[in-house]
Each structure stands twice: as structure tokens, then as C-alpha cells.
């Protein structure tokens, strides 16, 4: 059966499946670095691209291809390139689609390393970048220069949960001939379909929701067209940031439950956001599903659900942040997100501790900001854990 005609949760189980002679229900792990040809003629055909046979795992591998087909199908793209991490996805995109003298515009609240690698390293090769608050589309228009080639959005953004109007940004990108890239990590393919909103390239850190079990680091780049795919795939091969077959197998196992995990976690998150919003020790709560979120209406328009990431500000500031970290027991004090387990993080004392106060404020990283990545535990247990922790703040 062609999985293209299936609905989303059926695609999660069946897209990219391989039929082998044993009738394997799961995609086998082809843990091999190289593939033997049946003859010199067959080898020649593979290298000339006249046969779809596999050559060498950095170039392609059946287990990895199965995952690539699955995610491309879920996103509605032409095809995908699996890579070793989310950051490998970012760098493959930058290197494949930008050249010396080009300029890129991105979300001010973009994941730190996506900006850091551009400003610290790609700038050395003559690529310029500007970071603006893309929740206001006028800021994108104003930042466009004659050499602008790419608009790189992250929505919802990490950790502010700022939402950018993808369809509106895509209109601007089309008018100015920019390639529109969307980091869809926070929404996952379940909640947001950037290609339907005009994106050209969509990528995910599969370390998060797609794998979902905090046991793999992985990334994937999905291209809307064959033309873009043919730029991205050779770049991954040249950079050597391919995925390993065993990593692909684990992600294929995780992806099957993506739909029910995301649904359950966001059900929990909605309840926790309501609880936190009423708590006297909390200044404000950022969750796209709350009416108080500044881009709640855009989130409603472009997402089919509001996800399971919550940010909130403690009235007690920095010290309260540390106190809460030391007094929650069910949520693990850890970076990352999107797994079945709940994680909590205090950016000011953890991920952003080396950033100057001034730069933290520019990125809206306040002293009492807490990021809470909701898992699929029983929500009453999570609320009880927060309640006793907040009592000590």
C-alpha cells in the first residue's frame, strides 16, 4: 500500500517501511559501512547513478533511507537527509544554500548554537547574518538587503516560545527570492506543517520529539523540491555528518509513538500552564495555548496543537530559580526536551550562565526564567512536584 494515501498516525507506523524476504515487521539495522556489488558492471552503474543500489553508508543506507522516507512523508516534502544531530542539520543547510557574500535573516530568539555557529564561524567565510524579532513581519522586511538569500525561522522558538507567522514570512521570502528554512523541532511534524505554509526547507533536531526517549542525538533536513534535495544531500555526504544505522533504527522505533506522545504531553502541558498562571509566586507564563501568549492567535492558525514546552518567570528571580531546581524531584534537572520524561531548566544559572546580563536581556532570558519540558507522566504527579518545589521559593 502506498503510505502517501494514509492518515498521519498510520504514516507514523508504515511510512518508509522496507519489505524484505523474511517479512520483517520492523526495519532491520543494516549495520554495515559498505555494500558489495554483484559485478563490476553493477558497481559502475551505482557510481554513475544509473542504479539505486547502496555503495557506502556515509552516502546512504537502507535503515537510514527508511527513516528519511518516513519523515519526508510526514512533512509532505520531496525527500529528506538524515544527519548526526540537529546542529549537523543546521550546518548542512547553511553550507549547501549560502555562499561567500550572502546574507541571512533569522529569529532573534533562535536556538543559541544556530546563531553562534553563524556569527562565530560562517562569518569567517564571508556569510553575514541579522537577527530580528520575527514575530513582527515588518522587522524581516526592514532587514532585507540586496545580498539576502535566506530567511531562517524557528517557531515556536527556544526558550521564549515566540511564534512567527510562517505563511506571512513566506510571502515576504517569495517576493524577495529568499529560501525559507523552518526549524520545526518544537512543534514536530504532528503539530505544524511548514511546507503547507510556504517553507522550502524544514528541519528537526530528532533528539527531541521525533525520537522522544532521550537516548539518541540526531537531526533531519527535509527538502520541498528535488532541486533543493540535490543541493542538501551531497553537502551532508561531503561534510560526513551522516547518521549511523543503529541511530536510525532507534529513531524509527521512537517515531511510531510520536502522535500519541505529543498528544499526551500537550494535554499535560495545558493543565500545568493553567496551574502555573494562577500561582502567586509566578510573574508570567508563556505557553502558546494560553490566551495571554502574545501570538496565541497565530499559533491557533498555523499549529494543530500547542505543544508541551512552557516558560515561566519566578517572582523571586535568580535565587528562586536555583531553589526550584534543587527542590523538584520528579522533573529531571536537565537540558533538552521532547522526551517521555519531564525536564526542567533554569537558563540564567545553567545554559546561559556565561552570557552577560545585557545579552541575556536582549534575548529575553530573565533571571527567574524557567523552562519546563513536559513529559507523559500523570499530570497530578507533575503538579504536586511543582507545588512542593514552588513552596520553597
Could you say which of 154, 165, 313, 367 contacts ligand LCS (CB under 6 A)? 154
Q: Decide: is 87 part of the binding site for ligand LCS (CB under 6 A).
A: yes
Concatenated DSSP letters of 32-99: -SB---SSHHHHHHHHHTSS----BTTT--HHHHHHHHHHHHHHT-SEEEEESSHHHHHHHHHHHH--
Residue of 45, 58, 69, 322 with catalytic role: 58
Q: Is 208 a catalytic residue?
A: yes
- Sole window of 91-99, 294-302, 331-339, 359-367 interacting with ligand LCS (rule: CB under 6 A): 331-339
Is residue 333 classed as helix, strand or coil in its secondary structure? Answer: strand
**Bridge partner list, 154:** 183
Q: Decide: is 205 part of the binding site for ligand LCS (CB under 6 A).
A: yes
Element spanning 230, H or E: helix 226-239
Least distance in Å: CB of 332 to ligand LCS? Answer: 12
The residue count of the chain comes to 393
- Sole window of 69-77, 172-180, 183-191, 382-390 interacting with ligand LCS (rule: CB under 6 A): 183-191
- Sole window of 276-284, 298-306, 330-338, 375-383 interacting with ligand LCS (rule: CB under 6 A): 330-338
How far is Cα 393 from Cα 46, in angstroms, rounded to an integer?
Answer: 63
Least distance in Å: CB of 83 to ligand LCS? Answer: 9
Could you say which of 85, 106, 160, 242 contacts ligand LCS (CB under 6 A)? 85
- Sole window of 2-10, 171-179, 182-190, 299-307 interacting with ligand LCS (rule: CB under 6 A): 182-190
Q: Is 111 a catalytic residue?
A: yes
Residue (46 or 166) nearer to ligand LCS, CB: 166
Residue of 11, 208, 286, 371 with catalytic role: 208
Least distance in Å: CB of 369 to ligand LCS? Answer: 13
Q: Decide: is 183 part of the binding site for ligand LCS (CB under 6 A).
A: yes
Least distance in Å: CB of 126 to ligand LCS? Answer: 24
Could you say which of 212, 219, 321, 339 contacts ligand LCS (CB under 6 A)? 219
Rounded to 5 degrees, φ, ψ at 60 are 170, 155
Decide: residue 101, CB within 10 A, 0-12 exposed, 13-18 middle, 19+ buried: exposed
Q: Is 124 a catalytic residue?
A: no
**Bridge partner list, 344:** 333, 372
CB atoms within 10 A of CB 5: 8
Q: How many Cα atoms within 13 Å fall on the side-chain side of residue 93?
A: 32
Q: Is 291 a catalytic residue?
A: no
- Sole window of 62-70, 82-90, 232-240, 313-321 interacting with ligand LCS (rule: CB under 6 A): 82-90
Q: Decide: is 111 part of the binding site for ligand LCS (CB under 6 A).
A: yes
Q: How many Cα atoms within 13 Å fall on the side-chain side of residue 173?
A: 25
Residues 279/390, Cβ–Cβ less than 8 Å: yes
Residue (54 or 183) nearer to ligand LCS, CB: 183
Q: How many Cα atoms within 13 Å fall on the side-chain side of residue 380?
A: 0
Q: Decide: is 321 part of the binding site for ligand LCS (CB under 6 A).
A: no
- Sole window of 27-35, 64-72, 325-333, 334-342 interacting with ligand LCS (rule: CB under 6 A): 334-342
Q: CA angle, 321 as apex, 319 and 324 as ends, to 5°?
A: 110
Least distance in Å: CB of 194 to ligand LCS? Answer: 13
How far is Cα 229 from Cα 286, in angstroms, rounded to an integer?
Answer: 36
Residue (316 or 364) nearer to ligand LCS, CB: 364
Residue (55 or 217) nearer to ligand LCS, CB: 217
Q: Which of 166, 162, 104, 97 is nearest to 131 (CA)?
A: 104
**Bridge partner list, 310:** 372
Q: Decide: is 335 part of the binding site for ligand LCS (CB under 6 A).
A: yes
Q: Decide: is 217 part of the binding site for ligand LCS (CB under 6 A).
A: yes
Residues 161/153, Cβ–Cβ less than 8 Å: no
Which residues form the catalytic set? 58, 111, 183, 208
The footprint of ligand LCS (CB under 6 A) covers 85-87, 111, 154, 158, 183, 185-186, 205, 207, 217, 219, 335-337
Amino acid at each position: 500500500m502506498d503510505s502517501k494515501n494514509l492518515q498521519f498516525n498510520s504514516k507514523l507506523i508504515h511510512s518508509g517501511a522496507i519489505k524484505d524476504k523474511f517479512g520483517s515487521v520492523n526495519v532491520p539495522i543494516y549495520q554495515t559501512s559498505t555494500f558489495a556489488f554483484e559485478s563490476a558492471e553493477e558497481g559502475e552503474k551505482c557510481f554513475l547513478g544509473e542504479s539505486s543500489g547502496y555503495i557506502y553508508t556515509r552516502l546512504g543506507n537502507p535503515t537510514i533511507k527508511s527513516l528519511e522516507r518516513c519523515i519526508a512523508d510526514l512533512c509532505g516534502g520531496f525527500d529528506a537527509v538524515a544527519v548526526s544531530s540537529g546542529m549537523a542539520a543546521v550546518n548542512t543547510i547553511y553550507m549547501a544554500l549560502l555562499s561567500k557574500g550572502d546574507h541571512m535573516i533569522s529569529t532573534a530568539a533562535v536556538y543559541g548554537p544556530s546563531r553562534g555557529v553563524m556569527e562565530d564561524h560562517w562569518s569567517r567565510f564571508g556569510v553575514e547574518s541579522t537577527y530580528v524579532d520575527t514575530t513582527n513581519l515588518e522587522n524581516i522586511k526592514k532587514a532585507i538587503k540586496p545580498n539576502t538569500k535566506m530567511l531562517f525561522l524557528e517557531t515556536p522558538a527556544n526558550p521564549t516560545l515566540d511564534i512567527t507567522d510562517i505563511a506571512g514570512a513566506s510571502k515576504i521570502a517569495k517576493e524577495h527570492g529568499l529560501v525559507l528554512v523552518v526549524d520545526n523541532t518544537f512543534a514536530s511534524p504532528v503539530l505544524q506543517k511548514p511546507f503547507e505554509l510556504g517553507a522550502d526547507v524544514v528541519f528537526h533536531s530528532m533528539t527531541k520529539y521525533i525520537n522522544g526517549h532521550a537516548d539518541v542525538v540526531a537531526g533531519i533536513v527535509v527538502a520541498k523540491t528535488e532541486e533543493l534535495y540535490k543541493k542538501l544531500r551531497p553537502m551532508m555526504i561531503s561534510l560526513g555528518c551522516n547518521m549511523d544505522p543503529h541511530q536510525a533504527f532507534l529513531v524509527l522505533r521512537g517515531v511510531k509513538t510520536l502522535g500519541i506522545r505529543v498528544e499526551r504531553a500537550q494535554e499535560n502541558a495545558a493543565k500545568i500552564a493553567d496551574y502555573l498562571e494562577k500561582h502567586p509566586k509566578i510573574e508570567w507564563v508563556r505557553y502558546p495555548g494560553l490566551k495571554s501568549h502574545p501570538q496565541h492567535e497565530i499559533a491557533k492558525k498555523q499549529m494543530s496543537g500547542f505543544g508541551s514546552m512552557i516558560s515561566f518567570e519566578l517572582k523571586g528571580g535568580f535565587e528562586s530559580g536555583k531553589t526550584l531546581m534543587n527542590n523538584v524531584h520528579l522533573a529531571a534537572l536537565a537540558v533538552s526536551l521532547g522526551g517521555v520524561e519531564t525536564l526542567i531548566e533554569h537558563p540564567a544559572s545553567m545554559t546561559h550562565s556565561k552570557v552577560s546580563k545585557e545579552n541575556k536581556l536582549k534575548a529575553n532570558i530573565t533571571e527567574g526564567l524557567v523552562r519546563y519540558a513536559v513529559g507523559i507522566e500523570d499530570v497530578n504527579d507533575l503538579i504536586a512536584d511543582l507545588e512542593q518545589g514552588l513552596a520553597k521559593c
